[in-house]
Amino acid sequence: MDKATSSFSLHGIPVSRGIAIGRAHIFAPAALDVRHYLVPEQQVENEVQRLQDALATVQRELQTIWSDLPPDAPAELGAFIDVHVLILSDPMISEMPLEIIRKRHYNAEWALVTQIDELSAQFEEIEDPYLRERKNDIGQVGERVLKVLTGTASKLPAVDADESYAQMIVVAHDVSPADMLQFRHSAFAGFITDLGGQNSHTAIVARSLDIPAVVGLANGSSLVLQDDWIVIDGDAGVVIIDPSPLVLQQYRERQQLLVRERKKLSRLRKTPAITIDGTPIDMMANIELPEDCATAMEVGATGVGLFRSEFLFLGRIHAGRLPTEDEQFESYRQAVVAMKGRPVTIRTLDIGADKPLHPHHSDETALNPALGLRAIRYCLTEPQMFLTQLRAILRASAYGPIHLLIPMLAHAFEIDQTLLMVEQAKAQLRQSKRKFDEQIPVGAMIEIPAAALSLPLFVKRMDFLSVGTNDLIQYTLAIDRVDHEVAHLYNPLHPAVLHLIGTTISAGAKAGKPVAVCGEMAGDIRLTRLLLGMGLRQFSMHPGQILAVKQEVLNTDLSLISAQTRKILRAYDPDTINEAVEQLREM
């Protein structure tokens, strides 16, 4: 692609709908590890001062280390410190980051890592191995300054009122779900990445933030320059760089149209989700953090169908430890109180695969992390950690209805061990005279094909089921949900997938056990009628999708769609299935 032609477009995988227009902010990997926000104009010089102070502190630290060196210390040690002192006083480190703060309004940490990444990339290209090695020294000096900066955290709020902030488009090679947590504190307009798939957890968080996003751009991000104007079409998966004024105008109009449509939908907030023939449907929310309950309540969610509790852990690992029982309890209690008597389904820790506990340190020994020690498998190998979480969830159940949901179960012994541990956690709480709901319902995620093919095991032992279509599709079709190279094979309408979902819904109905769908299929309006026709009565999705799905429910007469649904479930030919699903939408 020729950069000189100015305007050009990139094509990727649309993961979060809508139109975003803004300027590119390029994120290097290291920049993702620090907090980043834009500093309002009037505070820029304070931020510059904060970085200058940190640089001066490190300068003094290095001088103290140097003068405290014992006389018999190896000569290289002194030389090593000399190099660091030189690096620190080089304008590339002592002045350029200050310019970045002044020009781009980045906070000090972000400005520093941006500059260090830039320098590291330049050093990579040097042929002389000795000079190339200096890249590590620059990194170490940067670490020292960052440590001081962290100790003098900026007084600025994480979210600032600067208007331009809302126009920031994040451009990155990859963003992990843990990184996305950092972004939650920043109201940016959209993001584009080279890697990622439709249902990677990064994409899921983007949808929950309700910001347009396109992933899987191959190496597209390298063609974007800092501050380029960008349009993201999150519906079509198209990214336009440096759009012409005419194109920009067209997208602004589409953006306004979408805002108007959303406004219209917001009238449905308090309308109960009931089909034309009078069947009530549960519209629940998927959340990552307790504060998301506010948005869930705003759109009239009937409860939380999936609280991905691992996000409490991903966020906290930056503090160097896992959240304690009391800290977890407080988060779960906060959620259940915020939902005002509506049930909150808390899923136990689903760590592993694309959500490693330690950011940027995925388990390199596991060749197939999605098939590895993930979710309940991990929890059963860490009984103390699991019991801590179970006690915290149980304690919160004294404050409102909580349902306990277990991810990635496949084997009978896993179910038995899990239920035993729930009993153990209850016994511990009884002993310490803590209150909890003795009857707390315990349910299983049905997201491994083996589980969907051995439902009697589950309906007998569990109180409810929740279909995780994201993983169910991943494992049924053998495609890594984060791998953009196989993203085109990710097909919710594959007959095998529909069969497994259909049999799960029927098995639940037969056994009198509630079944929900909490994977991304539940929030896709193209599939609402199909799921209703299959007998689904509980949907759980991002709060941002609830109103649109509710509108579909309100326009559906179950008696008119059952024959067509049966036809779809009997079909194997993809064209027949796609056409029939389209027709179903028009009935």
Tell me which residues touch ligand PEP (CB under 6 A).
204, 306, 308, 350, 447, 468-471, 518-519
Residue 468 is a binding residue for Mg ion (CB under 5 A): yes
Contact 489, 483 (CB under 8 A): no
Q: How far is the CB of 470 from ligand PEP (least distance, A)?
A: 3
The terminus-to-terminus CA distance of the chain in angstroms comes to: 44
Site for Mg ion in 446-465 (CB under 5 A): 447
- Rounded Cα–Cα distance for residues 423 and 426 (Å): 5
Q: Which is nearer to Mg ion, 407 or 508 (CB)?
A: 407
Residue 246: CB atoms within 10 A of its CB come to 8
Q: Which is nearer to ligand PEP, 221 or 545 (CB)?
A: 545
Residue 326: CB atoms within 10 A of its CB come to 10
Residue 520 is a binding residue for Mg ion (CB under 5 A): no
Question: Stretches 59-67, 376-384, 417-425, 441-449: which one binds Mg ion (CB under 5 A)?
Answer: 441-449
Residue 228 is a binding residue for Mg ion (CB under 5 A): no
Structure tokens at 464: 């409810």
Tallying the residues shown for the chain, one arrives at 587
Cα radius of gyration rounded to whole Å, the chain: 26
Q: Which is nearer to ligand PEP, 190 or 519 (CB)?
A: 519
How many residues bind Mg ion (CB under 5 A)? The answer is 3
Cα dist from 147 to 71, 107, 480, whole Å:
29, 15, 37
Residue 480 is a binding residue for Mg ion (CB under 5 A): no
Q: How far is the CB of 382 from ligand PEP (least distance, A)?
A: 19
Which of Mg ion, ligand PEP, none sits in contact with 530, Cβ below 5 to 8 A by type? none
Which of Mg ion, ligand PEP, none sits in contact with 160, Cβ below 5 to 8 A by type? none
Structure tokens at 112: 């520093």
Q: How far is the CB of 306 from ligand PEP (least distance, A)?
A: 6
CA dihedral 34, 36, 42, 48 (to 10 degrees): 30
- Rounded Cα–Cα distance for residues 491 and 497 (Å): 8
Q: How far is the CB of 289 from ligand PEP (least distance, A)?
A: 14
Question: Mapping DSSP to helix (H, G, I), strand (E, B) and coil, where does residue 286 land?
Answer: strand
Q: How far is the CB of 370 from Mg ion (least distance, A)?
A: 10
**Considering only CA atoms, which of 58, 35, 28, 54 is closest in space to residue 156?**
35
Q: How far is the CB of 204 from ligand PEP (least distance, A)?
A: 6
Task: Give, as one character, the DSSP assignment of residue 531.
Answer: H
Q: Which is nearer to ligand PEP, 38 or 306 (CB)?
A: 306
The active-site residue, picked from 105, 293, 518, 542, is: 518
201 given a catalytic annotation: yes
Q: How far is the CB of 210 from ligand PEP (least distance, A)?
A: 17
Cα dist from 420 to 234, 324, 329, 395, 413, whole Å:
45, 22, 21, 17, 10
Out of 179, 228, 292, 471, point to the residue binding Mg ion (CB under 5 A): 471
The active-site residue, picked from 201, 403, 484, 542, is: 201
Q: Which is nearer to ligand PEP, 470 or 538 (CB)?
A: 470
Which of ligand PEP, Mg ion, none sits in contact with 288, Cβ below 5 to 8 A by type? none
Q: Which is nearer to ligand PEP, 108 or 500 (CB)?
A: 500
Helix (H) or strand (E) holding 13: strand 13-16
Q: Which is nearer to Mg ion, 28 or 371 (CB)?
A: 371
Give every CB contact of residue 524 below 8 A, 6+ residues apart in sequence. Answer: 492, 545
- Rounded Cα–Cα distance for residues 546 and 342 (Å): 16
- Rounded Cα–Cα distance for residues 200 and 196 (Å): 6
Question: Stretches 166-174, 297-305, 352-360, 466-474: which one binds Mg ion (CB under 5 A)?
Answer: 466-474
318 given a catalytic annotation: no
Residues designated as active site:
201, 518
Binding region for Mg ion (CB under 5 A): 447, 468, 471
